[in-house]
Amino acid sequence: MSKKKRKHSVKPQLTPKQRKFADEYVKTGNATQSAVAAGYNEKSARQIGAENLSKPYINAYISEQLERIESHKVMNANEALQRITMIARGESVAKQWFAFGKELVLKDVPPTTGEILNASKEILKRYPTSELERAQIRQAQAAATESEVKAQLAKQQIRDHQTTDNIVIKALQEMPQEEIVRLARELGNRHAKSSN
């Protein structure tokens, strides 16, 4: 009996740097900072952070870590997003003390424009398939398709040119020498006339 080997899909293992990156990302939500903290080169940290977030097995690890963190003592991701959303919508208010003469008054203060923008950015960071990113992906795919088509056209033009060259060479080889001399003189005369 022959034994058939089964192919198992092997889940890629995170490198120590990737694990450190993912752990930092869980803490900060910032891919560039997380890449630097994990030991990647500062100059390429932004690119590496984005690449790491695009790898499904790193995203899976990040999701697992976030699930482990969720407990009754820690705000879960959903609650955090709800609170950030309230700030982004201007629905959340902070309490602040104001002095009126000798009297202190506690008042509700709505979020500033900067706080609203920062909250919006925090929300968008967690959704890597925003409409803008989908549009950028579609644009990149279209550019890649266009490049492939241009490459195929260039290859076809080369083949056509080679075919034409081969036809001409074959015709010249089969042509009597007197005919070749006559054509050469005729071309020379045409060239002389067009030069004048």
What pLDDT tens digit does each residue of the chain (196 aa) get? 445 554 555 667 889 999 999 999 988 889 999 999 999 999 999 999 999 999 999 989 988 888 777 665 566 677 778 888 888 888 888 888 888 888 888 888 888 877 877 777 777 676 655 567 667 767 777 777 787 788 788 888 888 888 888 888 888 888 888 888 888 888 888 878 877 7
Q: Token digits for 164?
A: 């034409």
pLDDT of residue 1: 47
pLDDT of residue 72: 55
> In DSSP terms, which residues pair with 105 in a beta bridge?
98
Our CA angle for 43, 49, 50, nearest 5°, is: 115
pLDDT of residue 130: 59
Cα 111 to chain centroid distance, Å, stands at 33
> In DSSP terms, which residues pair with 181 in a beta bridge?
none
pLDDT of residue 50: 92
How far is CA 133 from each of CA 26, 50, 54, 121, 146, rounded to the nearest angstrom? 22, 12, 12, 14, 20
What is the pTM assigned to this prediction? 0.36
Closest CA to 51 of 18, 27, 28, 9: 18
What is the torsional sign of CA 183, 186, 192, 195?
Answer: negative
Supply the angle between the helices 45-53 and 56-69 in degrees, to the nearest 10: 80
Q: Identify the three-state secondary structure at position 41.
A: coil
Closest CA to 61 of 97, 8, 16: 16
